[in-house]
Structures are given as structure tokens and as C-alpha cells.
Amino acid sequence: MFLLPVSVFAQTNGSIAVGASLTATAEGNSSSSWLSPSGDFAFGFFSLGSNGLFLLSIWYAKIPDRTIVWYADWDNEAAVAPKGSTVNLTANSGLVLRSPQGVDLWKSGTGAGVVANGVMNDTGNFVLQDRNSESLWETFNNPTDTLLPGQTLERSGTLSSRQSETNYSKGRFQLLLQADGNLVISTINLPSNFANDPYYATDTTSGKVAGSEGRELVFNVSGYLYVLRENGGKYNLAVGEAVSARDNYIRATLNFDGIFAQYYHPRNFTGNVSWTLQWSEPDDICQRITEASGVGVCGYNSICTLKEDKRPTCKCPKGFSLLEPNDPYRGCKPDFIQGCKEDELSGTKDLYDVEVLTNTDWPISDYVQLYPFTAERCNESCFKDCLCAVAIFRSETCWKKKLPLSNGRVDASLNSQAFIKVRKDNSTLQFPPMPNLDDKKTKKKSSNTLIRMESVILAASIFVSFMFSAAACLGFFFVFRKKRVRSVENILDSNLLSFSYQELQEATNGFTEELGRGAFGVVYKGTIQIGSGVQVAVKKLNCVIQDGEKEFKTELRVIGKTHHKNLVCLVGYCDEGQHRLLVYEFLSNGTLASYLFADTKPSWTQRIEIACGVAKGLLYLHEECSTQVIHCDIKPQNILLDDYYTARISDFGLAKLLMMDQSKTHTAIRGTKGYVAPEWFRNMPITTKVDVYSFGVVLLEIICCRRSVDAENDCEEKAILTDWVYDCFLEGALDAIVDYEVQALGDKTTLENFVMVAIWCIQEDPSLRPNMRKVVQMLEGVVEVQVPPCPSPFFRACLKGSFVSQV
């Protein structure tokens, strides 16, 4: 009876007194919501169906589907509450959501004030006010996935999509008004907050006109949505007339599938009327999300197709099924086992069928490109390659791709064919049953039987192999007798082309245009003729191992089998007399060193991507390729940048090609704290941890945009980068590390994590350094980064600490 007047009061003017509460009961019950004065909006518990769960939210109360425009969330999880939960309006904590057992599930907070009352406005904004009617907290300042007329978004303000149509936890898409005034939409690498490159941007930055950067995103009461610039100008997100806000409800929502759209719904209607799309961005999200923008809207191994309403739809190719049966946007999984070991253990070689799709592509999953090629040879090449899951043929080019397939889409302009390998039996491998271990006679008999079977199989295999080899040799004899020319098939392990020294001399115009030089040799620019002219980088190796051809080609086989987007691709080689040369793909944007230490500093976002790319390339070399590769010489000069500024590691696998005395030149820089791990100087085993150490130094260079050793620096304390950064870290002076860079300091959590990861990597004790898998996980925010210890007792900060402890 005491609360009855409060409830009645809430239905008339939208004001709610401190002490009022709502209870999660059956939908439609007056005790589960507070209405705005017009009754257009309701705040309270929204029933999520027959599961007995409720969402604390605001919705359109007069529309049958009761579209939600705001909901409470806590640590990226929606504040879903069981039946019987309550929300109370308190003076000191604002809105407090509690479970039936009295456990706090969510709090709004009040800033620094004391709440006098709450107001559910006709604009759809719920406001907590002090006794002077000043706002302490409001839903308009804490948006979720929707903006309403009268609402603005300040710099660093975000909208986050939900996970799916019915799951209100934080999803994979984010709309952000950046600190530089640019309004962008990006994918997020959950569960971290790391944003990939935007797939939509207004480009409302300073540019050439002062004051042209965006100040705020405005959704005015007339229904126009625009970015207001610092100079008062406007950037309209949609061109054309807006619908009447007086006659229609209007909202702008970042949908769970990454589409930002504006909708309207008539206020007065009869019958079954739904929301009408006014405009949406981007036009084609299937095409707009590229490699730098993250995984496509449909997830891995899926195919994205655009519907008439410009919303994406997802489907799995033949032989694949949904990861989540009720969510087609989570991606697909193969219904069969595919892998080199699995194929080898199968009893038959006829394992796969081929499904052919037209105008379908997964553009960023390829690990090798073959040109010139035919569709038939492309299909055959994938069919015989145990790593290949799909091959795409277009314009005489074959791209072989392996799982997981990323950013799949249908595009009528491709004029391509996709050859998908599908296992015939759709099953796992079947092995014979194990013998009864309790019966010794049975065990012995079974063992003898197996031995006899293995002998028969082995003999048959040897016979078949001999006949096949004989036939192959005979075939090659006649082929090469007829025409002794090198073709695409005459390659090392079906990966590397073999060139003569004269061919490379002609390709480089007599080795005239030098690209760079280092411990391994000199690199020249050239053009080789494979179909049309292809630009390459030709490296003449110095002091290669003396034992010659066998060891040289053994190491090249290892390098030739590596395929990763963060590694430079080795095209071919020359092994002719004393001439040992390697032919690499040519990367247009040069080395990381020239990019990082130039007059203009790369953006913080670019540096984050480069650091993560280098880490993933090293992870592949250490753990994921067929033979482990320790680089031994990670530094910015050995990291190249492609057309899209993707980091690509070069010179991997070359350490074993150098003679011992040449290798020792790497350790001749003992006097400086460069990239070389301490174990090189201490007769300790050389493991992958030497690369981890070098990566830590490079990571600091990427963060700071300065060299690891700067002998010309006026300040002696800054000369050794690792020492100086650790000093700054202990003193909490991260702003000095990035030279007070606004963008980096706006992402201070990432900055601090990256610095701590680097310090972990440069630990003097190799056992304390993380492996590269752990490094990647820490950089991506998947694993929490702990505070690292002092890297070495010889660091200045550590010497000071040791002196203090002795005193």
C-alpha cells in the first residue's frame, strides 16, 4: 500500500522516487516496468521468453514487438536476471539490480552525487537526478546498441552490437567516434577489446581543413544523424529527406551482424506494421570486411551472401556444418578429419570428392599462389596437397587455401571457380579393435596376425612403389629427352623454382639495383618471366656452408614448406657452382626499420597490427610449420611490409646456411644491448627463446618508434632502449615512452600490456620468457599479462634496488 502511490505517480509524469522498486514477474505486469509520461517507452524487466529470464532494459511500450533500445550490461555481459529479481532506486548507488537471493547483479552508479529521483523521459532516456534536477547518470550517456533522436555520442563514445538477435551480451562489432574525430565501425577480437581496422569510416579528421574533425555524433530530434565538426560543419550519415519524427518512432541501431541502420515505425498504426529501413551502412558488408578488418560477419569456413535488404546471410559449404546449430553467424566446422597424418593413415588414397562453386572466394586464407595455371591443374594441385582444403581459380591464377577459411563471400564479379575438397565417408579414421589384454594366447595370436598383415602390406607397398617409381622415371626420361627446359613442375618439393645463375643475372640487369645488405648477403631487385614479368628480390648469399648441395637443399626444403601471411614467400633458388642465391617475392613498402624510424611516426593502430603480425609469424615458425625454425636474427631490418603494411618476416631459416665463423659474427655485438639474447655469449643451448628475446626488443622499438641502441642520444639514460623503458615502467611514466602520443595514451591499457609483454620477452633467464604462443595470447588480450620482474640484475633500476636492499 505504501508503494502504490509511487507506482501510480510513475505512470503519469515519468518520475520515480528514491525507494521505488520493480520485480521481475510475468511480462505486462505493472510491477515490472516504469512508463514515460506518454507511455511510449518503458523501463524495467523485459521477459526473454519461457526460460524465466528477464533483461533490465528500455523498450517501445506501444509497439507489439516491444523493440529494446537500451539494456544494462556488466563487464560486457547483459544484465540478465531470473524471475523474482528486483531493481531498486537508491540514493547512494542509483539503480541496483539484485537476484532473488539478494546478490547484486548490476549497479548504475551516481557519479559523485546523491540521487533525489529518477525520470523516464518521452525521449527514451532514463535519468537519475539530484535535488537540483541535475543529471547524475542517464542511459543516453551509457548507450548499448541503439541511438534515439535527441541523443549524442561524444569522442570515445561507442555503440556495441549484441551477440545475436536474442543474445544481448557484447557482440563482435563496435561503432566508435575516435579521439581524432573519425566515426568508424570495426570488428572486435573478443573477449578482448582490440579493434581491427574499420570497415566503415566517415573520415571526419582534420585533413587539410582546420577544424574539420568530428566533435560529436548527433541524432537530432528531427531524425537527422550527422557528425558535427569542430568548425560547426556537418557530415550527414545519410543523404535525402528524413521521415517525420512527430509521426514516427525513429532509431539507429548497430545490428548484431555489423550493419548500422536507421529505422522508422509509425506512431499511429493498425494491423501488423513492422520497422522500415531508411538507410544502412556499409552497402555490402560481405565485401567490406577485409583481412585487416578481422574475421567476416559469418565466421570461419562460412559463405556470406547479401540479401535484398542489404543484411548478410550465412551458409556452410558442402561437408561443413554450423558450429552453433541455432546461430549461422558463428561459423562452420568440417564434418570430417582432414590432415596430412590422417590422410597418410587412411587405407585408401581415394578419400575426397570435389565440390565446385562459382564466384565464391575466401580471399585471405591462401598459403600459396600458382601462376600461370589452368583450372584443371589448380583442382589437381589441391587434390594432391594434404594441406589444401580449397583452391580458387581466377584469371590463370590458382590460390590454394587451408583451414580455417576466412571472410568467405559470393561475388558475381569474380568470374572464379572454387574447388572444395570433401571427404567421401564424412567420418573419422577407423582402426582395428585392440586384442583382449587378459588373454595371453589371444594377444600373441593377434600380434602374430598383425605382424603377418603388416608384412604383406609392406611387401605390397614396396612392390607398388617400385612399379610407380619405375614408370615415373621412364616418363621423365622421355619427357626431358624430348624437351630439356625448366618448367613450373621442375621445382624443389613442388614449391621452389630452380634458376640458373645466368637467368638471375639477366633478371637483375647484372645485379645493379641494390635493395639492401646484411650478414646473410646482398639483395637486388629483379624481374623474372613467369607468364608476365614478376618483380622479385634476389639475395646473393655470403659464405654458405661448405658441404654443399645436400645441406643447402635440405634447408631450402624446410623454408619452401613454410606458408604464412606474416612470412616473406621464397619463390626459388640458384645452386650453381659457387653461386648460391635465393629468390623472394618483392615487397613494395620496404623494411620495418625504414617505416618505423622515419620522420613521420606510424599510427598506434598500425604499430599494434605490425607487432601482432610479427608475433604470429614467429609462432608459426616455432610451433606450426612442419619443421621447427629458429630465426636467430629478428630485427626491424629483417621484417618487410607488403602493399597493405602487413608485417612479413624475412631471412628465416638462413642461420643454418652460414658457415660457423659467419654465425659467430652475430655474437660480435656483445658490447651493446641489441637484439641478441644473452645465451649466445654463455655457451648455453640455443632454443626458440632467442627469438623471443629479439622480439621483445623489436616490440619496444615498435612501441616507442626509436632504435634499441641510440649512441647519439644526448641523454645517456635513454641510450639503451630496454633499460630506459623499464625505468619508465617502474616510475609509471608510460606517456614518456610514446613521447606523449595522443592515440597511444588513449589506448593506455593496450600500451601497458604491450610494454609488460616486451619486458617478459627480454628476461635474461630464458626459462622466464614466455613462448611465442603465450606472447600472441597476451598481445591479443586472451591471457592476462602479469607484472614482470626485473629483466636483468645489470639493469640500472635493478642495480639501484639491489643497492638499496643491501643498505
Catalytic residue positions?
A: 633
Per-residue cell: 350: 581415394
> Can you spell out the DSSP letters for 692-753?
HHHHHHHHHHHHHTS-SB-TT-SSGGGSBHHHHHHHHHHHT-HHHHTTT-HHHHTTHHHHHH
Distance, in Å, from the CA atom of 530 to the CA atom of 12, rounded to the nearest integer, reads: 79
Q: Which helix (H) or strand (E) holds 60?
A: strand 53-60
Length of the chain: 807
Helices assigned H by DSSP within 38-80:
none
Q: Which residues pair with 327 in a beta bridge?
A: 324
Distance, in Å, from the CA atom of 497 to the CA atom of 520, rounded to the nearest integer, reads: 21
HSE (side-chain half, CA atoms, 13 Å) at 256: 17
Per-residue cell: 670: 656483445
Distance, in Å, from the CA atom of 89 to the CA atom of 20, rounded to the nearest integer, reads: 6
Q: Which of these, 149, 153, 148, 152, lies nearest to 178 by C-alpha position?
A: 153
- The torsion region of residue 645 among left (phi > 0), alpha (psi -120 to 50) and beta comes to left
Tell me how far CA of residue 183 lies from CA of 145, 174, 236, in angstroms: 15, 11, 12
HSE (side-chain half, CA atoms, 13 Å) at 422: 18
Answer yes or no: are the C-beta atoms of 424 and 351 closer than 8 Å.
yes
Peptide bond into 64 cis (omega under 30): no
Distance, in Å, from the CA atom of 193 to the CA atom of 199, rounded to the nearest integer, reads: 16
Q: Which of these, 167, 174, 168, 166, lies nearest to 190 by C-alpha position?
A: 174
Distance, in Å, from the CA atom of 571 to the CA atom of 560, rounded to the nearest integer, reads: 8
Contacts of 465 (CB under 8 A, 6+ apart): none
Contacts of 501 (CB under 8 A, 6+ apart): 574, 576, 577, 579, 581
Answer yes or no: are the C-beta atoms of 538 and 504 closer than 8 Å.
yes
3-state secondary structure at position 649: strand
Q: Which of these, 203, 177, 176, 198, lies nearest to 187 by C-alpha position?
A: 198
Q: Which residues pair with 575 in a beta bridge?
A: 580
Distance, in Å, from the CA atom of 372 to the CA atom of 529, rounded to the nearest integer, reads: 11
Instruction: Count helices and strands (H / E) in the chain.
Output: 17, 47
β-pairing, 260-266 vs 276-281, is antiparallel
> Can you spell out the DSSP letters for 293-310?
G-S-TT-TT-EEEE-TTS
Per-residue cell: 43: 523501463
> Can you spell out the DSSP letters for 548-561?
-HHHHHHHHHHHHT
**Angle formed by the axes of helices 689-704 and 748-761, to 10°?**
150
The DSSP symbol for 165 reads S
